[in-house]
Structure 1
Amino acid sequence: MTRIVGEVMTREVVEAYRGTPFKELVRLLDRHRISGLPVVDHDDKVVGVISGTDLIRRQATRATDGRARRFRLPWPGRSTRRADAVAGATTAAELMSSPAITVHPEQRVGDAARVMERHGVERLPVVDEEDRLIGIATRRDLLRVFLRTDDEIRRDVLDEVVGRGLGLAADSVAVSVRDGVVTLEGGPEQRVDAASAIWLTYRIDGVIGVVNRLNVRVEAGPFSPSKGPTGPGRENP
């Protein structure tokens, strides 16, 4: 089973508005023990994201700006206009990172994780088709897929990879799983598209590695990656 964002996201979201003042933002983060929150407009559409880093940056900027002005020192690598804007920020609209990086509930957890990593963010607001906030996905939410048991992963590999993906009988490929690492084994009498088998297995939630012991000639298939090793031994995603 491949899980989607809507299945793991947190539905009760702590949010702020454009006009939420600095101190209230700090209170929200502290009271709910969170490191960030989305900023929405009057239609609940996400317009930005506030993190503890944003708030600390504002305070650090004010302190540094004050010393720079006192001693008439220039801002290294930063314009005076930008420094003034950050130091003088008092509301969520002035402090937030915008536009927000968002995801939709029907997206795969793996895809959301890649978006999170690509943009270097800790949380992703989840929005509906009209960009209204319906939840939030944090790193912790996405990591829950790796709590799946080895038996659950093995059943999915047999069903979705061997059966549905490759169109083979369940006993055509021997599948074993230990601590999330899947081992695929098959005899020379069975023609198996090894590259596709490996690629599809990595798409199963909870899989952290694949060991290829398919003793057959590797055939290029519709799911084959464009490059990368496909020989015996542990494969990279």
Structure 2
Amino acid sequence: MIVSQLITKKPVIASKDISIREAAKIMKKEEVGSLVIVDKDYKAIGIVTERDLLYAIADEIPLDKPVSEIMSQNPVTIEENSDISEAVALMTSREIRHLIVVDHDGKVKGVISIRDVARAVGAIALDLAFW
């Protein structure tokens, strides 16, 4: 199974200049746990997760500050045609819960979560159990 098969929805993206509050509103509206921050070429320059928002609130960072202040820079990405085993290895070794899927030009195609990967690995294991 390849990584692109795990993408269930269009990526939710934003500019680094939006406010932290606006980022939270977008994530709530789109019902996602992460927001990919992209440049003008649609390439990922950062990612903001629910955990980043939680830490920002706990650290009393003003919510009108730009999201670039709390995003994880240089996010981990994986090419869309990579095998799911590579995604598992990346997420485990980097201790991340969201992985940005990109095409061969580095443009964002989607985001997969640890939940997506676990579901797929479970389905593969179940399928193998019947062999």
TM-score tier after normalising by the smaller chain length: 0.7 to 0.9
Inter-partner Cα distance in structure 2 for 1:149 and 1:124: 22
Q: How does 1:1-237 map to 2 (within 5 A)?
A: 3-62=1-60, 87=61, 90-145=65-120, 146-148=122-124, 150=126, 152-153=127-128, 177=129
Cα pair distance change 1:45/1:149, threshold 3 Å = closer
- For structure 2, the 5+ residue unaligned runs are none
Deviation at 1:91, TM superposition (A): 1.2
Give the Å deviation of 1:10: 2.9
CA contact (8 A) 1:40 1:46 kept: yes
* Conservation of the 8 A alpha-carbon contact between 1:16 and 1:92: no
Normalising to structure 2: TM-score of the pair?
Answer: 0.86
CA distances 1:171-209 after superposition (whole Å, capped 9, x unpaired): xxxxxx36xxx7xxxxxxxxxxxxxxxxxxxxxxxxxxx
1 CA distance for matches of 2:27 and 2:62?
21
Aligned length: 129
Report Cα offsets for 1:112-146 as digits up to 9, x if no partner.
Answer: 01111111111111111221101111122212322
- Tell me the distance in 2 between the aligned counterparts of 1:120 and 1:148: 22
State the Cα distance separating 1:148 from its structure 2 match. 4.3
Deviation at 1:11, TM superposition (A): 4.2
Greater than 2 Å deviation, 4+ residue runs: 147-150
Change (3 A) 1:26 1:104: same
Sequence identity percentage: 22
Larger Rg: 1
Give distance in 2, aligned partners of 1:147 and 1:113.
14
Unpaired stretches in structure 1, ≥5 consecutive residues: 63-86, 154-176, 183-237
Deviation readout 1:14-37 (Å, 9 max, x if unpaired): 112111111111111222222212
TM-score of the superposed pair, with normalisation by structure 1: 0.50
Distance 2:81 2:46 in 1: 21
Larger RCO: 1 or 2 (CA < 8 Å, sep 6+): 2
